[in-house]
Amino acid sequence: MIRVFSQYVSPKGIVQMLLEGALITLALLCAVRIRFWGSASGFEAYIAFPDFVWQAVVFVVTLQMCFYYCDLYRPSAVRGRNEQLIAIGQSLGSGCLLLGTVYFIFPSLLLGRGIFFISLALVPAFVTFSRVALDRIWQAAAPKEAVIIIGAGDLAVSVASQLLKRSDLNVRLAGFYDTTHTAEGRMLFGLPVSAAGEDLEALVAGTQATRIIVALEDRRNALPTRELVRLRVQGIRVEDAHTTISALSGRVWLETVKPSWFVFTEGFHRSTVTLILKRSIDLASGVIGLVLSLPVMLLVAIAIRMDSSGPVIFRQKRVGLRGKCFELLKFRSMRVDAEEGTGAQWATTNDARVTRIGRFLRKYRFDELPQFINVIRGEMSLVGPRPERPEFVEELRKQISYYDERHSVRPGITGWAQVQYQYGSNLQDAARKLEYDLFYLKNMSIFFDCAIILDTVRIVATGRGSR
């Protein structure tokens, strides 16, 4: 299993992405060869460095970005062959529009018309063939990593369930080892549970396991320390269950995690360089974003004014860094009297308080554009936990453990919880979003922020997750 941003990712997905990048490049080269068939000098002149290299990079990167945004690289969006063909067609259509825009702005990157269309005809054939071939080769040849789970309680069952959900990881559940004497004859997930007293090293050798996950609710006088030390120095990986669950699901499971995990686990490190770089990127992006979005913001302001009476910009108190309150700026998407007589309320799906134009603004996140000003002021970041209202924070910090930890960084316009989970409308949703926020705090980095922004663009473009 391979980790990216402390998450387990599919090795097959990485191979697929690299392979398809190479195949799209090959399709482009084949198109040039077909276009200049019989003219070696014409072929060599067309692919001359550096012009063709830049043209190829733009072509390949644009198409692969469209593949990404059409969920062709997401293991959670596993689809049948027909749906894959439709998604590839949608990706190529989107790619043509984006490339047309790029070519209009930068004519020097324009491919010849014949080469462009021949390439678009070859790409789906190459990509479809590679996916069929890779699926069969991977299924037949890729070795499955065998995993043994120490424990047979609820925590062990949770770990096993999460592992089995991730078929893309090529993991094989090899067995369970219970440290109590109550497991004799017991079965979990169709596998016998080895009881205390049996040889753990023999079990590892017999199953050819390369990874052990410790999933004990209480380790006192129960952890087979001597055997684990011997296995560890032999090269067997030993992991804590909470770390594994976090890496599999992208969130910190509050119902299972203990305070000691926060103390001893890796992560939650923020160097001064990272914080300075993050703030510099926020400031530059805030200024650029505000300038570029001004025409859109002007149109939005006019639409709001025409749709309903009341102020265009809505100011609302939110809790930010270190628990300090600030005024969050948004385009107004609700009626002016939305909370008159009721006080603060959670936003819900198909909220009756939302105006006609407000529903559209929320779907495509145009209501968030004024928050570039909050970013420039230093009250917010581009990426971070979404700021909550003080009325809700007071209640949530009483009922949800570790809730105040999300205030250790600047809140964000977008965040890991926003791209992974729906809008929150109750206590349970707030707890689940906190789990994603804690995962972000544990693994915060500039590259992780970039990945979240890419996901945010995908969600905004498709209008997913709107209220």
Q: What mean pLDDT is predicted for residues 68-82?
A: 76
pLDDT tens digits, residue range 207-216?
999 999 999 9
Which range of 134-138, 140-144, 394-398, 410-414 scores highest in mean pLDDT? It is 410-414
**CA gap 166, 235 in Å, rounded:** 24
Q: Which residues pair with 237 in a beta bridge?
A: 211
Structure-block tokens of residue 190: 């169709």
The per-residue pLDDT for 463 is: 67
pLDDT tens digits, residue range 365-405?
899 999 999 999 999 999 999 999 999 999 999 999 999 99
What ranges make up the beta strands (E) of 218-364?
Answer: 237-240, 313-319, 325-331
Sign for the pseudo-dihedral over CA of 226, 227, 228, 229: positive
**CA gap 197, 428 in Å, rounded:** 41
- pLDDT over threshold 60, residue 220: yes
- pLDDT over threshold 70, residue 76: no
The per-residue pLDDT for 465 is: 56
Going from the C-alpha of 320 to that of each of 286, 401, 421, the distances in angstroms are 17, 18, 21
**CA gap 417, 251 in Å, rounded:** 9
How sure is the predictor about 39, in pLDDT bands with cuts at 50, 70 and 90?
confident
- pLDDT over threshold 80, residue 6: no
Report which of 136, 9, 123 is spatially closest to residue 66, judged by C-alpha positions. 123
User: What's the whole-model pTM score?
Assistant: 0.86
Write down the H helix ranges in 195-271: 200-207, 225-233, 241-249, 259-264
- pLDDT over threshold 70, residue 230: yes
Contact 165, 4 (CB under 8 A): no
**Chain-wide mean pLDDT for the chain?**
88
How many residues comprise the chain?
467
DSSP per-residue letters across 112-123: PHHHHHHHHHHH
Contact 392, 403 (CB under 8 A): no
Between helix 272-307 and helix 356-363 the angle, nearest 10°, is 150
- pLDDT over threshold 90, residue 79: no
The per-residue pLDDT for 58 is: 96
- pLDDT over threshold 90, residue 26: yes
Across 38-42, 252-256, 283-287, 339-343, least confident range: 339-343
Structure-block tokens of residue 40: 């070696």
How sure is the predictor about 460, in pLDDT bands with cuts at 50, 70 and 90?
confident
The per-residue pLDDT for 135 is: 86
Tell me the percentage of the chain whose pLDDT exceeds 90.
58
Going from the C-alpha of 145 to that of each of 177, 292, 299, the distances in angstroms are 17, 48, 55
How sure is the predictor about 184, in pLDDT bands with cuts at 50, 70 and 90?
low
The per-residue pLDDT for 80 is: 75
The per-residue pLDDT for 157 is: 92
The per-residue pLDDT for 269 is: 86
Across 9-23, 333-347, 393-407, least confident range: 333-347
Contact 170, 142 (CB under 8 A): yes
Q: Phi, psi at residue 412, to the nearest 5°?
A: -120, 160
Rg (CA), the chain: 26
Structure-block tokens of residue 355: 């105006």
Contact 146, 207 (CB under 8 A): yes
Domains in the chain and their CATH numbers?
2-141 (no CATH), 145-249 (3.40.50.720), 272-335+349-462 (no CATH)
The per-residue pLDDT for 78 is: 54
Q: What mean pLDDT is predicted for residues 281-300?
A: 95
The per-residue pLDDT for 179 is: 83
pLDDT tens digits, residue range 80-99?
778 888 889 999 999 999 99
- pLDDT over threshold 70, residue 77: no
Q: What mean pLDDT is predicted for residues 256-269?
A: 86
Between helix 81-105 and helix 51-69 the angle, nearest 10°, is 140
Report which of 365, 369, 367 is spatially closest to residue 289, judged by C-alpha positions. 369
